[in-house]
Amino acid sequence: MHPESKYNLTTGGILSKLLVVALPIMGSQLSQMSYNLTDMYWLGRLSTGAVAATGVAGMYLWLSMALLMVGRMGAEIGVSQNLGRGDSIAAQSFGENAFMLSIALGVAYGAALYIWQTPLVGFFNIQELDVAAEARTYLSIVSFSVPFSFANAALTGYFTASGNSRMPFYMNSAGFAINMALDPLMIFGLRLGVAGAALATIIAQAISFALMAVAAVRAKNRPFERFRFFSRPNPETLRRIIRWSAPISAESAFFTFMTMITSRMISPFGQTALAVGRIGSQIESLSWLLAGGYGSALTAYMGQNYGSSQWSRIRRGFNISMAVMGIWGAIITVFMYTLGGQTYWLFLPDPDVRALGVMYLRILAVCQLSQCFEAVAGAAFKGCGRTLPPSIVSIVSNVLRVLLAMVFVRIWGVTGVWGAISLTAALRGITTLTWYLAESRNRHIRPVLNG
Where do the structural domains in the chain lie, given as residue ranges? 14-450
| Inter-residue contact 392 to 383 (CB < 8 Å) | no
- DSSP assignment letter at 225: S
- Residue 6 is predicted with a pLDDT of 59
Handedness of CA 141, 142, 148, 154 (dihedral sign): negative
**Rounded CA gap, 29 and 447, in Å?**
34
60-69, 141-150, 434-443: which has the minimum mean pLDDT?
Answer: 434-443
* pLDDT tens column, 373-401: 999 999 999 888 888 899 899 889 989 99
1-15, 93-107, 186-200, 289-303: which has the minimum mean pLDDT?
Answer: 1-15
First to last CA, the chain: 27
212-216, 280-284, 309-313: which has the minimum mean pLDDT?
Answer: 280-284
**Rounded CA gap, 435 and 437, in Å?**
6
Highest averaged pLDDT of the listed ranges 27-36, 127-136, 279-288, 342-351:
127-136
Q: What is the chain's length?
A: 451
* pLDDT tens column, 203-227: 999 999 999 999 888 888 777 778 8
* 150 burial level (CB within 10 Å; 0-12, 13-18, 19+): buried
Average pLDDT over the chain, rounded to an integer: 86
Is the pTM of the predicted complex or chain greater than 0.95?
A: no
- Residue 134 is predicted with a pLDDT of 94
| Inter-residue contact 299 to 76 (CB < 8 Å) | yes
> Does residue 67 sit in helix, strand or coil?
helix
Name the nearest CA neighbour of 280 among 152, 143, 417, 154. 417
**Is pLDDT of 29 > 80?**
no
> Does residue 125 sit in helix, strand or coil?
coil
**Rounded CA gap, 447 and 450, in Å?**
5
**Rounded CA gap, 174 and 215, in Å?**
13
| Inter-residue contact 336 to 361 (CB < 8 Å) | yes
| Inter-residue contact 3 to 144 (CB < 8 Å) | no
pLDDT average, residue stretch 77-92: 86
Q: Residue 290's Cα: distance from chain center in Å?
A: 9
**Is pLDDT of 341 > 70?**
no
124-137 as b/e: b if 16+ CB within 10 A: bebebeebbebbbb
| Inter-residue contact 102 to 70 (CB < 8 Å) | yes
> What own/partner pairs with CB < 8 Å and gap ≥ 24 does 189-193 have?
193/46, 193/50, 193/134
Highest averaged pLDDT of the listed ranges 73-77, 250-254, 287-291, 389-393:
389-393
pLDDT average, residue stretch 64-71: 90
**Is pLDDT of 451 > 70?**
no
Name the nearest CA neighbour of 72 among 7, 146, 143, 150. 150
> What are the helix and strand counts (H, E) for the chain?
18, 0
**Is pLDDT of 9 > 90?**
no
**Rounded CA gap, 171 and 185, in Å?**
22
Name the nearest CA neighbour of 405 among 388, 392, 423. 423
